[in-house]
Structure 1
Amino acid sequence: MSRADRVRKAFAASHGAHWHPTDAYARAVWLGLGLVLAGLFLHEVELVLFGTPLVLSVLLTTRPKGTPTVEVRPVPRGAGAGLVHTVAHVEGADAEIAVVKLPGKVVALPAEVPDLPVEVRRDAWGPGVDLRLDHLFAGPDGLHVHGPVVGVEHVRTILPPVEHHPAGLVGVHRSPRPGDSTELRDIRAFQPGDRLRRIDWRVTTRTGALHVRERHAEADAEVVLAVDTRTDLGAEVGEWASVRHGATTRPDGSLDRSVRGAASMAAGYLRQGDRVALVDLGRPQLNVRSGVGRRHLMRIRTQLVVCAQAAGWSAKPVLRALPHGCVVVLLSPFIDDDIADLAVQTAKRGHLVLAVDTLPSPLEPDRETPWGEVAAELIAAEHRVRLRRMARHGVRVTSGC
């Protein structure tokens, strides 16, 4: 037995994972002896007759043997969010009754029942505890119990879901070189080597010289998904400064929307054969290099969970070493000027920049302060100004994910 197993066994033994008498056992002993002694002292036969069965029941009852257990079949790691069914195997040993704490309820059942169906529901992505079955076993007449025992926590990480493919964000990308797509690039004079089927007869008839149509090539894009993990903002402005305990992100907050949107867009781009990279604007060491295929999608979804866990405020967003001519998708609530300046500077370097606004709308003001509505309106106005400034500098702005 390893040291970890010995420590685990000792901890379980010190926390009720052994057979021990109950209060009913102690009451039967003291009450029975008290009645017998009182009857002998007072010469009352009735008291002796009442106390003797209690003493005999305690003396004839033996402590149960064996170690009852509750083992849960783990939920498959590939299972996503929602309702998942699993089974708990109950091994009662010498127990008569098993009490198991299921999610949302406590059930008491005969210890001979071998399997217990269990429903597990988790709606949020990220790491979390699927199940922990605390249990207690009772022996004959409830004089001895085994437990209560704290069950083993079954932990599983749910990857961000691929919910939809944002319309207008995923499509065929134009290449700067000529090719055979359906989009017209230019009409020029005929040159040796041009194909005859490219001749534009209307222009040729009008000008009297051969002209050909030159079209764009359909090329795989180099897509960079840049997620702003520096802030996690919900719709209620009054909760922006509060720290969330026990949760990775705020439900339907800016970071939740960013991660879900990044996972969906990565699936859409990779499905059409593009190369996709992931950038954490707050922590560049968590970036994922560009790649293709289903395994790369799983890598991106897994890393998005890591980025969300490490999320927190950083001095400035960092986005560097971009491939030439790539498509940059910025997912951010755009709550400060630094991220807006980064989008504009990236567009000026010749990249196609798409800004996806993930700030929940409308904002709910803080009702506990007299200036809550004014503060919410001011935040919203500054936010609109940033989006318009980015649009004026060639950044394509879209709202929501």
Structure 2
Amino acid sequence: MTTGAPTRIREPKAVAWFLARRAVRLQGWRRTDALVRALVCGAGLMLVGLVMHRVELALMGLPLVVGLLLTKTPSGTPSVTSARGPDTVDAGLDAVVGVTVKPGEGAVLSALRMPLSTTPGVGPVHLLPAADGEVRTRLAWNAWGQGIYLRPDYLFASHDGLHVFGPVVGVAARHTVLPPIEPLVPGPLPPRAAGLVGAHRSTRAGDGMELRDIRPFQPGDRLRRIDWRVTLRTSAAVGGALVPQALHVRERHAEADADLILALDTRLDVAREVAEWNAHPVGTDVRQGGSLDLGVRAAASIAAAYLRNGDRVGLIDLGHPRGGVPAGAGHRQLQRIRHQLVHTARRVEGSGDPVLNHAQVPPGATVVVLSPFLDDQLVDVTVRLTRRGRVVLAVDLMPAELAADRTTPWGAAVVSIVRAEHAMRLRAMAGHGVVVVPWGHDGAGGQVAAILRRTRGRRR
């Protein structure tokens, strides 16, 4: 038996001709069902009048048939075009978007699909008079993520709805809404041991601004470091002679970089309703107010605060090791992190082991793990990272209150078990030196900064 390319089944010529004629009719103006029914009704009245010799019936159907046959089909080609908007916007902003409507000749009524101000997207259908102009609406981007913010579907109708053009699916305008940034006060981070230039004071001597010590001059010291006041006092004590033994120099602390690594758990997205944990949200990537939504907002806010402070910030995706962002500084790094947060949030799988290796974290970096901590594997990798000498801070994203599943009698028991296991994991991490902070209340960002400040003091 031989194998080869699959044989294509050819359609009959009659079917192909019918489909082609149907496509031609749908591409332009076409008669509606109302026009066809009126013609059939008028022709039926005339036929019945002729058969039954009822002149009044024939006279009733004749004007209807003649008038409909003389109805002119519109010749214009309506169009609805929208201006290209920005590909990236910040959450919390609003803007005015509009479409240009050209109904053409013969159109009287238009049905245009436009989004509302509170819900960007496809939107409902609006019935408007067919006229040249621009239709505008103001959109507010309250939720972050990727999607369609405008798709102007349209349909045009002639007088009495006898002919229609469309419906036509408009060109979808897509965009990326970056996570919002909450104002946070950053706390000082432990400096990297390998950094020699940065915004934080190191314990080693270097070319910083803060005075470390005053010591005698040694071979290799620069002349601009000489402290002439101490040198003159020392020379006066030995008789006023400026000898090499009287020279003293100022020794300063070196300024080092500080690295902050944000490890976000993108494997799970849980909300207050326990019954919806396994259900994928409809029409969006993440649940509004869920653990992943809180984690992305917290990561974006923390990254913005510490990058503004001059530190280096990186991102680790615990569910997808290749989806992280290496540590960097500057405004471009913040944009990279925000775009990557939107991209990683679309790949929630609900399973898999977390990946947080020692090699992913730069030497001397502070690690902030953001997760609801619903599995023991993440607790193990967090504790293992702490035992290697890392400064680790755990941000708990579990909702403060959980609603039991009312469709089963075991709903309340499930919530109790989940709460007990969650509290046990948090206590286990705290027992190994991991500081745990809940993010679901106001002032959590300031609490994170205060904990990092205390941690820096202990490290120094």
TM-score (norm 2): 0.73
Residue 302 (structure 1) aligned with residue 349 (structure 2) = no
Other structure's SS at 2:370 match: strand
1:286-306 alpha-carbon deviations (Å, 9 max, x no partner): 111111111111111111112
Query: Where do residues 239-388 of structure 1 align in structure 2 (5 Å cutoff)?
Result: 239-312=276-349, 313-321=351-359, 322-388=361-427
Distance in 2 separating the partners of 1:288 and 1:15: 53
Distance in 1 separating the partners of 2:96 and 2:57: 56
Query: Where do residues 18-167 of structure 1 align in structure 2 (5 Å cutoff)?
Result: 18-82=28-92, 83-94=94-105, 95-103=107-115, 105-165=124-184
Q: Determine the structure 1 residue equivalent to 2:194.
A: none
Seen in structure 2, the aligned counterparts of structure 1 residues 256 and 174 have a Cα distance that, compared at 3 Å, is: farther
Seen in structure 2, the aligned counterparts of structure 1 residues 385 and 192 have a Cα distance that, compared at 3 Å, is: farther
Seen in structure 2, the aligned counterparts of structure 1 residues 390 and 216 have a Cα distance that, compared at 3 Å, is: farther
Is residue 86–residue 120 contact of structure 1 (8 Å, CA) maintained in 2? Answer: yes
Distance in 2 separating the partners of 1:318 and 1:156: 31
C-alpha RMSD over aligned residues: 3.2
Seen in structure 2, the aligned counterparts of structure 1 residues 328 and 15 have a Cα distance that, compared at 3 Å, is: farther
Distance in 1 separating the partners of 2:409 and 2:381: 35
Is residue 223–residue 329 contact of structure 1 (8 Å, CA) maintained in 2? Answer: yes
Q: Determine the structure 2 residue equivalent to 1:207.
A: none
Is residue 15–residue 147 contact of structure 1 (8 Å, CA) maintained in 2? Answer: no
Other structure's SS at 1:350 match: coil
Q: Determine the structure 2 residue equivalent to 1:204.
A: none
List gaps (5 residues or longer) in structure 1.
1-9, 200-212
Residue type at the aligned position of 2:62: T
Is residue 170–residue 269 contact of structure 1 (8 Å, CA) maintained in 2? Answer: no
- Which of these two proteins has the greater Rg computed from alpha carbons? 2
Is residue 365–residue 372 contact of structure 1 (8 Å, CA) maintained in 2? Answer: yes
Q: Determine the structure 2 residue equivalent to 1:3.
A: none
Distance in 2 separating the partners of 1:268 and 1:133: 39
How many Å apart are 1:138 and its aligned residue? 0.7
Is residue 189–residue 366 contact of structure 2 (8 Å, CA) maintained in 1? Answer: no
TM-score (norm 1): 0.82
Is residue 148–residue 172 contact of structure 2 (8 Å, CA) maintained in 1? Answer: yes
Distance in 1 separating the partners of 2:427 and 2:165: 67
Is residue 88–residue 175 contact of structure 2 (8 Å, CA) maintained in 1? Answer: no
Distance in 2 separating the partners of 1:342 and 1:369: 34
Number of residue pairs the alignment of both structures matches: 376
Other structure's SS at 1:234 match: coil
Is residue 235–residue 364 contact of structure 1 (8 Å, CA) maintained in 2? Answer: yes
Is residue 89–residue 178 contact of structure 2 (8 Å, CA) maintained in 1? Answer: no
Other structure's SS at 2:149 match: strand
Seen in structure 2, the aligned counterparts of structure 1 residues 273 and 398 have a Cα distance that, compared at 3 Å, is: same
List gaps (5 residues or longer) in structure 2.
1-19, 116-122, 191-198, 219-224, 231-249, 445-460
How many Å apart are 1:392 and its aligned residue? 2.9
Other structure's SS at 2:344 match: helix
Residue type at the aligned position of 2:300: A
Other structure's SS at 1:309 match: coil
Is residue 148–residue 175 contact of structure 2 (8 Å, CA) maintained in 1? Answer: yes
Residue type at the aligned position of 1:329: V
How many Å apart are 1:361 and its aligned residue? 0.9
Seen in structure 2, the aligned counterparts of structure 1 residues 378 and 169 have a Cα distance that, compared at 3 Å, is: farther
Is residue 186–residue 309 contact of structure 2 (8 Å, CA) maintained in 1? Answer: no
